[in-house]
Chain A
Amino acid sequence: MNEGSKKTIKTLCFAVIGMFTFSFALVPLYNVFCEVTGLNGKIELRATNNKNIESENGRDISIQFVSHNNEEMPWAFKPTEDNIKVTTGKYHTATFYVKNTTNKRMVAQAIPSVAPSNAAAHLKKLECFCFEQQELAPGEEALLPVKLIFDNELPSSINSVVLSYTIFDVTEYKDVELTNNHNEMDHANGHDMESSL
């Protein structure tokens, strides 16, 4: 075999290894891409660092809340109000009702999503039940708060935003931290929001 062939083979083997690595690199690239652009309706699963982002001269928009149960998740889970009117630049608090309908102790994790997806970058949350896992005893129920604000830069074409939460059964994965919400969260002390701000 001549030198040329050996060189070609070496280059091609590197290309194969490189593309295999690239397929795994697509996972973080995809997450970063979605986070930066707000595409896919992905929201950061952490509280905003800036408490003082309230501003005047907002406009009125409406928020519709949607709740889903993932797969076989048996809990009752629904928004207290399906639809609220809010003003951009002002904080609003909404609540979700949740009940463990089983006779087992279970842990749940809610994952949010925003439609239209270009609203995601303008949504900031000071507090959200989706920042931590929820553990409920059999039959226990709770009202879970979310304190949110849309900034004034929300594109003017958007007058109505759908905020959807899907609740997952993560009893098996209890205390396994999600990929991007662990930076400032203290799970043992999750309700003390001040600690994370």
Chain B
Amino acid sequence: MSAVIESHGHDDHHHGPAKGLTRWLYTTNHKDIGTLYLWFSFAMFLIGGAMAMVIRAELFQPGMQIVEPEFYNQMLTLHGLIMVFGAVMPAFVGLANWLVPMMVGAPDMALPRMNNLSFWILPFAFFILLSSLLMEGGAPNFGWTFYAPLSTTYAPPSVTFFIFSVHIMGASSIMGSINVIVTIMNMRAPGMTLMKMPLFVWSWLITAYLLIAVMPVLAGAVTMMLMDIHFGTSFFNAAGGGDPVLFQHIFWFFGHPEVYIMILPAFGITSHIIETFSRKQLFGYASMVWAMASIAILSFVVWAHHMFTVGLPLAAELFFMWATMLIAVPTGVKVFNWVTTMFKGSITYETPMLFAIAFVVLFTIGGFSGLMLAITPADFQYHDTYFVVAHFHYVLVPGSIFSIMAAVYYWIPKWTGNMYDERLGKLHFWLSFIGVNVTFFPQHWIGLAGMPRRIPDYALQFADWNMISSVGAFLFGASQILFLFIVIKTVMGGKKATPEVWEGSRGLEWTVESPAPYHTFTTPPKVS
């Protein structure tokens, strides 16, 4: 492994990638692995999206129309698991692989072989998870939060496969984050101090620390489930002296940092894009770093706001309510900085900028509904309704997913050497933007009116908004086929990109040619 750093001394000829399929199987190149992660995440996004289409098709009209309730439960469980662990997280890891070494001026990730391993175990994890659909008793049907005893005493036999696949996903994430931290801490170009790092690198450094802290806790939770199911322990079984509420505490101790794991890299991406297309230096770099760090630290002391209704004592409900609301402060700082960066900038509205602005607006809407949910007495009304569904889809779809799409449009000229089709990109943006709002905005209303989540049928008064929501979902789903087409078209060819690609681009990755050569920064650049 030490060859990675020292190689440029002995081995000066720059060889390109190997040929054929084994290039991808054996690769230790951060750009190859980044590409693998991104394509894998795209495939999972389409599979998880197809499941969402099943859910929305069933909810198109009241009454049971298309699928059995049992299958509906499996669809919503797998949709959540696949989107969280298969689409959003691997997409961010893929972006980190592509960009972190180039942004800090390193030749590759610190641990290239482990990098290969951490990617290649992922397809097996999801193969195992998806294969449970064909098993007796069906796939996991207890929701992506897999609360015990639903996921232990009452779970289908396939839960054991689910546990194994979560273990593999966790191992992959932990290896990926060790790689990111070691790269950032030890392989920065001379002169790049921590406070000179690009914000995407900062956001990933913080995210990786969160992953190191909470993925082992998730592994612990599923291990306890495994022991309860097969080895006669009673961690979560009250009959044996355990406590099902304990499961929720452990799960959300992982789960709340997890939701910030899915949004912090988006903050980094958005900062770069808004800076570039406003043609101004980002406003408040240091405050952005501090805001991300405070959000990460606060994420460890707010977990019980997911469980206000389990019967917490008043003191705990007050503490978790205030701690949760405190998160609005650093988040508000970030939104303020983005808006101020745009203020009086020479803005142009290329596709990445459109996605980034939509991110700021729509993520803020998701943040506001989060504040409403943080109010304990109000949460007793909102809990387990479609209001919650609307809230977390607003922060995840036009939040995390839009930022990933923005990143793809922004950096794809660097990856492929070709410009994407701007006209199609804008079309994709507007279809997605309209689709996402038509889908999820009405869910606020039906949620406030009392429609419960995770139920395949609903009362008649919710029929109109559900139908509209489903139409929006079909529009959003279909427009992602257009996205796939645009990406393939860009990979195949297009207008050649310059090294700097965008007029106002800043950062080391824009100093190398487009497409980025297979090996970059074998001699570290000098950062002033």
Contact = CB atoms under 8 A, between A and B. Distances in A.
Given A30-B246, A173-B240, A178-B240, A39 B313 contact: yes
Interface string A1-42: 110110011001101111110111011001100000101110
A20 B220 contact: yes
Interface of A: 1-2, 4-5, 8-9, 12-13, 15-20, 22-24, 26-27, 30-31, 37, 39-41, 70-71, 109, 111, 115, 117-118, 166, 168-170, 173, 176, 178-180
Interface stretch (B47-55, B181-189, B444-452): B181-189
A23 B241 contact: no
B22 interface: no
Given A23-B220, A24-B220, A118-B313, A40 B245 contact: yes
Given A23-B221, A26-B253, A166-B238, A71 B153 contact: yes
Contact of A1 (B110, B177, B220): B110
A25 B450 CA distance: 39
Given A71-B153, A118-B313, A1 B239 contact: no
A26 B185 contact: no
B213 interface: yes
A139 to B, nearest CB: 23
Given A39-B316, A40-B311, A117-B313, A4 B186 contact: yes
Given A1-B2, A23-B220, A9 B178 contact: yes
Interface string B138-152: 000000000000000
Contact of B182 (A8, A16, A111): A8
B212 interface: yes
Contacts of A4: 185-186
Contacts of B313: 37, 39, 117-118
Nearest to A34: B243
A23 B186 contact: no
Given A1-B2, A178-B240, A179-B241, 10 more contacts: A1-B1, A5-B185, A13-B178, A15-B213, A16-B212, A19-B217, A20-B217, A22-B216, A27-B235, A30-B243
B230 to A, nearest CB: 14
7 nearest A-B pairs in the assembled complex, by CB-CB distance: A23-B220, A168-B239, A19-B216, A20-B216, A179-B241, A23-B217, A178-B241
B265 to A, nearest CB: 19
A71 to B, nearest CB: 7
B39 to A, nearest CB: 28
Contacts of A8: 181-182, 185-186
Nearest to A169: B239
A117 B216 contact: no
Contacts of B2: 1
Contacts of A20: 216-217, 219-220
Interface in B202-225: 212-217, 219-221, 224
Contacts of B5: 1-2
A33 B224 CA distance: 20
B186 A2 contact: yes
Contacts of A27: 224, 235, 246
B450 to A, nearest CB: 26
A40 B423 CA distance: 58
A12 B212 contact: yes
6 contacts: A8-B185, A12-B177, A23-B219, A23-B221, A23-B224, A168-B239
A176 B240 contact: yes
Contact of B214 (A1, A19, A168): A19
